[in-house]
Chain A
Amino acid sequence: MGFFLETVFAGLMNGVLYALVALGFVLIFKASGVFNFAQGAMVLFAALAMARFAEWLPQWLGFQSVLLANVIAFMIAAALMLVFAWAVERLVLRHLVNQEGVTLLMATLGITFFIDGFGQTVFGSDIYSINLGLPKEPVFILESLFPGGLLINQDDLVTAVMAMAMVALLTLFFQKTGTGRALRAVADNHQAAQSVGIPLGRMWVIVWFIAGLTALVAGMIWGAKMGVQFALTFVALKALPVIILGGLTSVPGAIVAGLIIGVTEQLAEVYIGPLVGGGIQIWFAYVLAMVVLLFRPQGLFGEKIIDRV
């Protein structure tokens, strides 16, 4: 029982991060109809930027405080993501309006190559660390209830809270602010939004920037946990099954599906894995999503598609 709970907990901790990255995907897809494969590369790029600046700033400006360095580095990284968002809109999106989905998807893969190369050129391709001063050693709770107690990682808790805060902020932003409303309008209907004078271009910059922020936060968290390096790009692949499971256009879908996949893949690996030789985590989430789609082709929360003739 204790072990089961630990597994579920571990899954939830992953799930929160999946949800965060998936959110980035969904926002961009809703607002610009782009299926953004570059999300993973964005995670790496943002994390690299933060890690490196946090390392450089103290040398340049000659101060000690890690916290200060991290804060400024985060700001700079965020600024970079803004520039990136702007560049994407300027140089790519606006030239590809009303292209087919697959063309846009390929374009984002092109972007992926570019920023992979660019990031490594500017920031290097070694392993770098983001030091958030997270406590690494595990704590054991409820030892009275379970033999050996329940293993809880404080850093998991801290980072999960960060991620959830980010998610909450975004949701607020979308519900409460004018820009948020405008974005939702764009998502619902491009033409209509344009006709009431919402500047599509600027909206795209904003969503890509927001997606960039989610990438930065996710990258920061993962970077702090396992070091900032190229492999970060692969983690974001996990967001793909999440978004189709939740429904490409659904923010709550991304969050719920993130948690579902986080938990189920852990349980599957731990309980089913040993029966088939293990390592099934790499495909389980996808197969799960595929099976669900057989019954709900638009995902759990996506809008229903009706054929009209």
Chain B
Amino acid sequence: MAIRRGRGVAAINYPTGMNLGGDPTQALVHSTPTGNFMVTLSSVDLGQGMKQIMAQICAETIGVPTDRVVVDTADTDTGPHCMGTFASRGTHRAGNAVIQAAREARQVMLEVAAEELEVNASDLETDGQGNILVKGAPQKSISIFDVALSAHFKRGRSISGRGMFLIPRSYPEKETGAMKPSTCYAHACTVAEVEVDDETGEVTVLTVKNIFEIGRALNPKMVEQQLVGGSWMGISHALYETTEPYYPNRDHGGTDFNQYLMPGPGDLAETEIIVLERPSADGPYGAKGPGEMCANPQIPAVANAVFDAVGVRIDTLPITPERILRALKAQAPN
């Protein structure tokens, strides 16, 4: 009996947004009379925190703190069209639409402020705390609260904006496959370290070190949530998950969380996450989609680590103890 150790590496990239484009998302932004901002979308928050991120993007663009922004989404009677939350497109597509809408609203806001302060709108800037200042003369300022009141009740201006983001659809050329699948790509490299019990085929993932390049971490704590959860799911895909354990045989598919296997809280690898940021040319504040790609590199990294440990290649997912044991027995001289 032996517990054998190995490590493996994998490096990947991943496209942001719906493959081949053609996937529009719209956003509307308007201010309330007291200078709070509503973002209206029909995008769906799946738990990844889209509402929070859209609020931060709008707040940054308008120049107010995030808690002054409310996001109203996922109602087709109020929200303008969004293609949906999938393909790592939420932050990128909706974020761009929100920026465009927020910029338009900001412009009206600055125009109203300019009238109040009797300066040119182009001479104004926001301080991020809810005030509009004259560049170079910050003592001359007005609060966004007062600007919104003025816009509503005195000047009859709507501080609002419309945003639409569309990557034009690419059609693959039939014979060569020339096409534009995506405008930006996230990157990752994972090193996994495993122990394999060579009598039972059981694998323990000891550590995973994940390096992710995601364009821009708009909210680092929320990025961390995605990346840690994704890394767990990647290991889960590598070693545990399938609805058809004897594929292509259809029998014995799991029907509950006892039979459908995923690592439990007692199976966690020591997980290290390092984030690099190379802003994308067309992402909101440079962001790319981190949510999907973060679950990919662990799978081959673990597979390669298993080989490094016991010298057998399991080229079929998931890499179950049974597959490892069969391979070890096939390899061993009888």
Whether chain B is bound by chain A comes out as no
Q: A interface vs B, CB < 8 Å?
A: none
